[in-house]
Amino acid sequence: MSGEAWVELLCDPGSFVELDTGIISKDPLSFTDSKRYPDRLVATRKKTGLDDAMLVGEGTLLGRPLQLGTFLFRFMGGSMGSVVGEKITRMFERGVEKKQPVILLSASGGARMQEGALSLMQMAKTVGALRRLREEANMPFVSVLLNPTTGGVAASFALLGDINIAEPRALIGFAGPRVIENTIRQKLPEGFQRAEFLLDHGMIDVIAERHQMRATIARFLSHLLD
């Protein structure tokens, strides 16, 4: 399910306005793997029609104004670079300014390796903005974990929601199961890093099917704000 489809599912019809458009990643490291990073960005933009891997804006859910962001996994696996981190930070800052709750849907392979330490810096940057949302605006953050939510995204804001909601069978964790098994030379428990495993171990609050997500988020916002 695309990020755009999630926006349509969650927001009241016609209420969502996209913000922070046109922000483009640079290539400060002159990074090259199988191809130059700028060439990879251009090819991905041409293929997807997207500027980067994050869509943010504001809308309403059952009439309640809120800030909403969603990862766009089809853009480089939803990886978090400087543009994604900047958009998320601005979204939290608008939540502070307007005293509105923030909902963020994560679907990501983690930090964008082509941006090196600048990508890793987004973990601290976004969490700092999230902290201000709580301390300065006393507004909740609802984190929705989609399949997959991994790497630096899982290790930063994705599991720091006042409410953490996951879709069924979502893969959630830092390193993938195969990487862990190859490192520790042990077989992992059945279902390890899946949403159901995390729910059983107290890492998330609830699992909701996609058709239940709008009502589930609305119910939690009502409990937290009304």
Question: Reduced to 3 states, what is the DSSP secondary structure of residue 204?
Answer: coil
pLDDT of 171: 97
Fold of 3-26+52-225: 2-enoyl-CoA Hydratase; Chain A, domain 1 (3.90.226)
- Residue 179's φ and ψ, nearest 5 degrees, are -65, -45
Q: Are strands 17-19 and 54-61 parallel, antiparallel or unpaired?
A: antiparallel
Interval 101-144: pLDDT, tens: 999 999 999 999 999 999 999 999 999 999 999 999 999 999 99
Assess whether the previous peptide bond of 148 is cis (omega < 30° from 0): yes
Query: For 156, which DSSP code?
Result: T
The overall average pLDDT reported for the chain is 97
CA distances to 20, 41, 164, 186, 198 from 203, rounded to whole Å, are 31, 34, 8, 23, 5
pLDDT of 189: 87
Percent of the chain with pLDDT over 90: 93
Structure pTM?
Answer: 0.95
Query: How far, in Å, CA of 17 to CA of 29, rounded?
Result: 33
